[in-house]
Amino acid sequence: MRASVRFCLPDSSAETLYAGDLIGRTWAAALRLDDPDISEAHAMVSLRGERLWLLALRRRFAVGGKSTDAVALEVGMTVRLAPRVSLTVEAIALPDAVIGLEGIGLPSQVLPGTCSLVLDPHPRLAPGSVAGAHAVFWESDGLWRVRSGEQTAPLEAGNILKLPSGTYTAISIALSVAGEQATRADDAAPLRIVASYDTVQIHRPKAEVFVLVGQLARVVSELATVQQPLAWEELARPHWPHLDDRDALRRRWDGLLGRLRDRLREGGLRPDLVTSTRIGLVELLLREGDVVEDRG
């Protein structure tokens, strides 16, 4: 079982979210809210120590009539995300331990919901079911499963996954430790972003260098080069130069931006490092002490 919270929505329906899940208007959000006052990436459920928190990403929210950007969730609490959108906490589930994975080139880490073990260019857990992945993990009714090749099997701590590149083991991670892993994105340490067009390296104190490649790296590199907001279409057009349908281009861009934020979150970085405004501008959201090196 993963740490989760069940919210009662404005229409009286209920939705269960897990640590790391996004709330917002984007199609990639675990809880998608169709309201003009809700940001694309509005808030995130986060596991800190042994408690679930709600963290503001693009806009603050209100609890008990007071504006805040972070709150420890409690049963019965009502969070007002926007004038017409409030969520009420119905239940919180916190297991003693959660399942994770470790192996060759892959530090021990919690399985972040449905994810895939990808080995190129380096071993990592990518969000969702990725075509060509060496293994895919998902949870159903509180039980984990893994598919490798044509084989699907239950997944429990101690299970060993043998691949041509090495062996990977499912492990049990104490909730307090899992909380530290799941909230690495909250780390306020300064970043050094080294952009080289097809690759981007993000350096943090006391952490492994985080690497982006391909399309995701090019988006960050372009923003690093100009160091000012750009229209989404300026960033999207070089990736799909022959796509004439602007709506189709926007859908492709939204998907690319969603993958980029998922990748940042997976690496323990702020998903709003690359942020999009309501008027269609995209920029690097840098904090005090962050440094950008353009080597493109």
Question: Same structural domain for residues 233 and 165?
Answer: no
Provide the CATH number for the domain around residue 215. 1.10.10.10
Provide the CATH number for the domain around residue 45. 2.60.200.20
Question: Same structural domain for residues 136 and 106?
Answer: yes
Would you report the helix, strand and coil content of the chain in percent, each value rounded to 5?
A: 20, 45, 40
Of 34, 65, 93, which closes a domain? 93
* 208-262 pLDDT tens trace: 678 888 889 999 999 988 888 899 999 999 999 988 898 899 989 988 988 898 8
Question: Same structural domain for residues 42 and 116?
Answer: no
Question: Same structural domain for residues 252 and 269?
Answer: yes
* 84-130 pLDDT tens trace: 999 999 999 887 888 889 988 788 887 866 788 888 777 888 767 88
Question: Same structural domain for residues 193 and 278?
Answer: yes
Of 157, 184, 211, which closes a domain? 184
Q: What's the predicted TM-score (pTM) here?
A: 0.47
Q: Amino acid letter at 128?
A: G
Least confident piece of the model among 12-26, 234-248, 257-271: 257-271
Token couple for 67:
């504006």
* 145-182 pLDDT tens trace: 999 988 899 999 999 998 877 899 999 888 766 655 55
Of 93, 115, 148, which closes a domain? 93
Question: Same structural domain for residues 228 and 277?
Answer: yes
Q: Residue 39: its pLDDT value, please?
A: 87
Q: How many domains does the chain have?
A: 3
- Compare 18 and 186 and report the one with higher pLDDT: 18
Question: Same structural domain for residues 207 and 259?
Answer: yes
Question: Same structural domain for residues 48 and 66?
Answer: yes
Distance CA 104, CA 245 (A): 44
Q: Domain range holding 167?
A: 97-184
* 45-66 pLDDT tens trace: 877 656 788 888 777 899 999 9
Question: Same structural domain for residues 256 and 280?
Answer: yes
What DSSP assignment string belongs to the chain?
Answer: ---EEEEEPTTS-EEEEETT-EEESSTT-SEE---TTS-TT-EEEEEETTEEEEEESSS-EEETTEEESEEE--TT-EEEEETTEEEEEEEEE--SEEEEEEETTEEEEE--SSEEEE-SSS-EEEES--TT-SEEEEEETTEEEEEETTEEEEE-TT-EEEETTEEEEEEEEEHHHHHHHHTGGG-----EEEE-SSEEEEE-TTSPPEEEEHHHHHHHHHHHHH-S-EEHHHHHTTTSTT---HHHHHHHHHHHHHHHHHHHHHTTS-GGGEEE-TTSEEEE---TT-EEEE--
Structural Rg of the chain based on CA atoms: 19
Question: Same structural domain for residues 172 and 105?
Answer: yes
- For the beta carbon of residue 287, count every other beta carbon within 10 angstroms: 11
Q: Could you tell me if 213 and 121 are in contact, meaning their C-beta atoms sit under 8 angstroms apart?
A: yes
Provide the CATH number for the domain around residue 124. 2.60.200
Question: Same structural domain for residues 193 and 290?
Answer: yes
Q: Residue 186: its pLDDT value, please?
A: 43
